Amino acid sequence: MDSAHGPSNQEPTPQGVTTQTHQVRVAEVPASEAFTWHTRPGAMLRLTPAALASVVAEPEPGLAVGTHARLRVGPGPGIGWVAEHTERWSDPDTGRYGFVDEQLRGPFRRWQHRHLISEADPSGAVIRDEVSWALPRLAGPGRGITAHQVERMLQYRARQVVADLTWQQQHPGPRLSIAVTGAGGLVGRQLVAFLSSQGHRVRALRRGSDWDPDQDWVARGVLDEVDVVVHLAGEPIGRRFTAAHKERILTSRTRSTALLARTLADLSADGRERSLVCASAMGWYGADTGDVVLDEDRPSGHDFLAEVCRAWEQAAEPARAAGLRTVHVRTGIVQSAAGGQLALQLPLFRAGVGGPLGSGRQWMSWIALDDLVGLYALAVVDPSLSGPVNAAAPEPVRADEYAAVLAKVLSRPHALRVPPLGPRLLLGREGAEQLALADNRLSSARAESWGHRFRFPDLDAALRHELCVV
């Protein structure tokens, strides 16, 4: 499947209103399907760059006139923004579809976004964004900065809609019922949005009402009609490795996984095909494996996080023993402006004082957030996949190179090196060695053999997309 991006245009008007447009063509996807994708839950989140804004509340599914979306835009806590859908049309006879949203409250004097979708010649869909905006009259010389921000947003949307619609076209299987734990986390939120916008029925399992692993119960009936459970929940690890924190890291993963595995095993008597897709981590291999290329057949390491990953994956044994398809996603260093390692380093690099951690020679097996979401989604929809899989891009880099690429993307220097003392003060010696200074070179061969097509195999493109750098 191919796609074509049209040029972005900027047209100022005498009234102080600027109109910017961007057009993209998606081959083999009918305009009606492209429009339906936009109306599903999750689509707005998939199209909103975390580097520029965060979605507080999506509009009701269907984009009916009068429904509202709520966002926060800008750095830090951001500025509240409320948009209302004011028009919506769908005409199969002419092959023209679209909708309009306008700012009710927010930073602009005027904001209107027209989303125009039509049939392409000879096939596919043309998706055109037209954004008209005006700043407050006392805003000062901000037109150029704002135009650049809008351009960044439009190009991000174009890449996302092409990639997500292409994935939908390549995976036309039945719509599934999916339950997700940890749905409010960095990965879970995007995965729920991706699967929902693909047309699957997704339920976020809520602790205290749907389940409670600390009390060892799952509410009656919650998983009865579910095809796949995706288990992402677990105690965040990016804190100082005290004895109490290490215990929470371990037990939060093993107890919850064992509970879900036993529950699904008990339900298997009804004959329904179910699957369990569980998070795991590259910590399986140990923190210091050097230049060895790590595939999924490599034995586990001997440090604390390796112990956690072994117990975590072993906790799913009741599901495997009952014949359920089980997948373990051994995740590398996730690249996202919304959280994780990249978000922590951004302030330093933007201030011009960023640099590589430690010696700079350690391997960093990274993965773009969208590729991680896509790999999870593939594990959900493809019934032939099982076992462990590395979630890491095909081109790992050393810490020196990572710092150089990030600095280049941000147009900042990277001469300062962060000594090991810094991570050790934050995480403790053990945490620093196993997280910030870990040295792992993961293979992506199994993920690729499964059919995952990396959107971002190289770091430069991944960071430019995630940070909306044009």
- What is the DSSP secondary-structure string of 342-405? HHHHHHHHHTT----BTTS-SEE-EEEHHHHHHHHHHHHH-TT--EEEEE--SS-EEHHHHHHH
For residue 435, the 8-state DSSP code is T
Pair 245, 305: CB distance under 8 Å: no
pLDDT at 417: 84
Query: Model confidence over 282-336: pLDDT tens digits?
Result: 999 999 999 999 999 999 999 999 999 999 999 999 999 999 999 999 999 999 9
For range 443-469, the mean pLDDT: 98
Q: How many whole angstroms separate alpha carbon 284 and alpha carbon 111?
A: 49
Grade residue 470 by pLDDT with cuts at 50, 70 and 90: confident
Query: Model confidence over 349-380: pLDDT tens digits?
Result: 999 999 998 899 999 999 999 999 999 999 99
For range 169-179, the mean pLDDT: 96
Q: For the chain, which residues make up each domain, given as ranges?
A: 3-170, 177-466
For range 75-102, the mean pLDDT: 95
Residue 6 has pLDDT above 80, yes or no: no
The residue among 165 and 2 whose pLDDT is bigger is 165
Pair 204, 180: CB distance under 8 Å: yes
pLDDT at 20: 98
Give yes or no for a cis peptide into 383 (omega within 30° of 0). Answer: no
Pair 466, 157: CB distance under 8 Å: no
pLDDT at 78: 86
For range 174-199, the mean pLDDT: 98
Grade residue 10 by pLDDT with cuts at 50, 70 and 90: low
How crowded is the C-beta side of 299, counted as CA atoms within 13 Å? 3
Q: What's phi and psi for 140, nearest 5 deg?
A: 80, -160
Reading the block at residue 320, the tokens are: 């495997």
Reading the block at residue 47, the tokens are: 């199209």
Helix (H, G, I), strand (E, B), or coil: what is residue 160? helix
Query: Model confidence over 35-48: pLDDT tens digits?
Result: 999 999 999 999 99
The residue among 340 and 140 whose pLDDT is bigger is 340
Neighbours of 32 (CB within 10 A): 16
Mean pLDDT score of the chain: 94
For range 393-408, the mean pLDDT: 97
Q: How many whole angstroms separate alpha carbon 267 and alpha carbon 205?
A: 17
Query: Model confidence over 191-220: pLDDT tens digits?
Result: 999 999 999 999 999 999 999 999 999 999
- DSSP H/E element including 129: strand 125-134
Q: Return the sign of the alpha-carbon dihedral for residues 295, 386, 313, 223.
A: positive
Whole-number percent of the chain with pLDDT over 70: 96
* Residue whose tokens read 């939908």: 168
CATH code given to domain 3-170:
3.30.530.20
pLDDT at 430: 94
For range 224-230, the mean pLDDT: 98
Residue 11 has pLDDT above 70, yes or no: no
pLDDT at 2: 46
* Residue whose tokens read 């029925």: 201
pLDDT at 5: 57
pLDDT at 1: 42
Neighbours of 370 (CB within 10 A): 24
CATH code given to domain 177-466:
3.40.50.720
b/e per residue 174-188 (b: at least 16 CB within 10 A): eebebbbbbbebbbb
Cα separations in angstroms, 344 against 238, 320, 336, 349? 11, 37, 10, 10
Grade residue 398 by pLDDT with cuts at 50, 70 and 90: very high
Distance between first and last Cα of the chain: 24
pLDDT at 140: 60
- Residues 6+ away with beta carbon under 8 Å from 201: 175, 176, 177, 178
